[in-house]
Amino acid sequence: MHDLSTMQEMIRQEPVLATLRRSRTEPRSREDRIAQFRAKAEELRAICEDVILPDTRSSLLNLAGTYDRMADTMESVATVS
């Protein structure tokens, strides 16, 4: 796992990652949050296509998987309630 300073250095080395810094509004509903998590996972996978450093690519793909799992969890909780 990378520490914060390592991740910041990766972002400096990969200009394409600057898109991750833009501000976002908070989603209002559970469905909005699920959609936002799915969109973020897809965005990270798309960014990976332009990333050169293997460690950065791997970290981004892991993060995309985490967003997918968060969406899956929220969907399963929504169906149980």
Tens digit of each residue's pLDDT (9 = 90 or more) over 8-60 = 676 666 655 555 655 566 667 888 889 999 999 999 999 998 888 999 899 99
C-alpha span between 27 and 34 (Å, rounded)? 9
φ, ψ for residue 3 (rounded to 5)?
Answer: -85, 175
> Mean pLDDT throughout 52-72?
93
pTM assigned to the model: 0.66
Mean pLDDT of 62-77: 93
Cα–Cα nearest to 22, from 40, 35, 4: 40
